[in-house]
Structure 1
């Protein structure tokens, strides 16, 4: 997603000189991936008991690598991510921006160790961090070059980034709820307080069903307000984003088994992927009409 925005969308904007060079931007991507990977590792360390019960075939820590090795990998990922973040922050002459990577790494640690056990808080944090991975592009690539002469262009680009960040937040928040239903038995045995444990599997599925109408309604409104003259993008969004969301709605109403919810989680992951790739369709349309 970050690569698409930088190399496809931003690079095709007229008279736009980005704050980061291509190599520096790739370093930003690596830093983001390392911080996220560190969060994934610490989460696997803390979830050993849950994963042993709910998905033993996917257990890595304690089975393929020791817990001590996993901690070493976790520390290494975070050192690399924060180190690169510090380097890039100084490159753009905004050294305080390095705090972003420290805060995100710390939040992922708190999520894995305590916050995810609380009702909805963990779901919100994961969705927010995903959406922030969109916003951080603007923080490092656009904000440092923003000045009075290009404020209008920067405001438009930031607005588009925030639209995608909001979309990513909504879809991933719903997906986190679906994943909680999928992992309900393991979470219950670990003493967690997720939405399906509190309300039950069927009620939580109906909540996910209802929440899905929000991104659908907003997507239709956004297309109607901003994209009606951009037929290529309209067709793309209808086929690859709106249609899968409608499929998700139909399927989750009667979903019962763990396999059903695993499938629906994958559908939402694909919606996220194709939603982000709509940037390519927008860029192609701009080039064809230039």
Structure 2
């Protein structure tokens, strides 16, 4: 069972579910509450949506390991599971089973919220993860961008489905009272953008870590195509841009609360858990010269992503302090 959990990356799946629930209850729900509204998607169907997302991701991890056996045998031989702990046939069947169930649940949730066209998302994601593992991962930038987009979809899909349900249930109330829900969209999209850039940085760092295996197996990653130094420049630019983005969002939307006071809680949290680690990451990436250095940088990116996710809790506290809902 332990090896199965490693194969489907249980820790990552848990974080996907936590992210979606935090977006629902710490961003969407409180802002709706401030507007005198409430969540319209039932808890059961939201759980089905989360499960659909998790199962598709799990299937993607399984098929990725299936096609990565040669590269992983070079880059991380101790972590190879397919062909050792599990047969290749088992990995294929697991992928199709998880992806099929995830797609069916997503399709059902789409019809529940009244947005049948959303049903196309889930089989498309399952197929895209398959082609990522077979083809796109070996192509310059395309694989990195696909994984970054998948990460961005995790919070974004919560917004899409809740708004679709709202449109079917209380749109008349919103229109009659001229209620503006743009703030919800802006915040969730902001988190999606953070997830996209941070995931892209991690993908570039992982490509530097996996340079030898990718070179030997013919993968055309940034380090292979343009060299390690160029990959470091790309990662460094993205890190700096993300720090600028984070502080811009703070000073534009959070620095001064309706009471006229400075939002110290957000400032301290952002500085300690995001800005300082990003500076450390920048230094680590620029100075890295061994595989172990890139592994440490990759771990640091994951911790930053985790901190970004849990800022939703800080956001909830700030809103509650201001509006006392």
**Band of TM-score, shorter chain:** over 0.9
Cross-structure match for 2:79: 58
Is 1:245 paired with 2:278? yes
Which one of 27, 33, 45 corresponds to residue 48 of structure 2? 27
CA contact under 8 A between 1:89 and 1:96: conserved in structure 2? yes
Give the secondary-structure state (helix, strand or coil) at the position aligned to 2:255.
Answer: coil
Is 1:271 paired with 2:312? no
Q: Which consecutive aligned stretches of 4+ in structure 1 deviate over 6 angstroms post-superposition?
A: none
Cross-structure match for 2:245: 218
Is 1:113 paired with 2:113? no
* CA distance in 2: counterparts of 1:249 and 1:54, whole angstroms: 23
Cross-structure match for 1:100: 121
Cross-structure match for 1:169: 196
Q: Aligned runs of 1:137-286 on 2, under 5 Å?
A: 137-146=158-167, 147=171, 149-150=173-174, 152-229=179-256, 230-286=263-319
* CA distance in 1: counterparts of 2:70 and 2:46, whole angstroms: 38
CA contact under 8 A between 1:142 and 1:154: conserved in structure 2? no
CA-to-partner distance for each residue in 1:225-244, whole Å, 9 max, x for gaps? 11112221111111111111
CA contact under 8 A between 2:156 and 2:192: conserved in structure 1? yes
* CA distance in 1: counterparts of 2:172 and 2:286, whole angstroms: 51
User: For structure 1, which segment, 195-204 or 163-172, has the greater mean C-alpha deviation from structure 2 after superposition?
Assistant: 195-204
Which one of 4, 15, 23 corresponds to residue 5 of structure 1? 23
CA-to-partner distance for each residue in 1:197-249, whole Å, 9 max, x for gaps? 11222331232112211101111111111111222111111111111111111
Question: Over aligned residue pairs, what C-alpha RMSD do you find?
Answer: 1.4
CA contact under 8 A between 1:168 and 1:272: conserved in structure 2? yes
Segments of structure 1 that go 5 or more residues without pairing to the other structure are: none
Q: Aligned runs of 1:13-92 on 2, under 5 Å?
A: 13=31, 14=33, 15-92=36-113
Closer/same/farther in 2, CA of residues 149 and 234 from structure 1, 3 Å limit: farther
CA contact under 8 A between 2:52 and 2:106: conserved in structure 1? yes
* CA distance in 2: counterparts of 1:131 and 1:149, whole angstroms: 30
* CA distance in 2: counterparts of 1:106 and 1:234, whole angstroms: 41
Is 1:287 paired with 2:320? yes
State the shift of 1:149 in Å: 4.6
TM-score, normalised relative to structure 2: 0.86
* CA distance in 2: counterparts of 1:31 and 1:158, whole angstroms: 22
User: For structure 1, which segment, 16-25 or 82-91, has the greater mean C-alpha deviation from structure 2 after superposition?
Assistant: 16-25
CA contact under 8 A between 1:10 and 1:16: conserved in structure 2? no
TM-score, normalised relative to structure 1: 0.96
Closer/same/farther in 2, CA of residues 68 and 49 from structure 1, 3 Å limit: same
CA contact under 8 A between 2:204 and 2:235: conserved in structure 1? yes
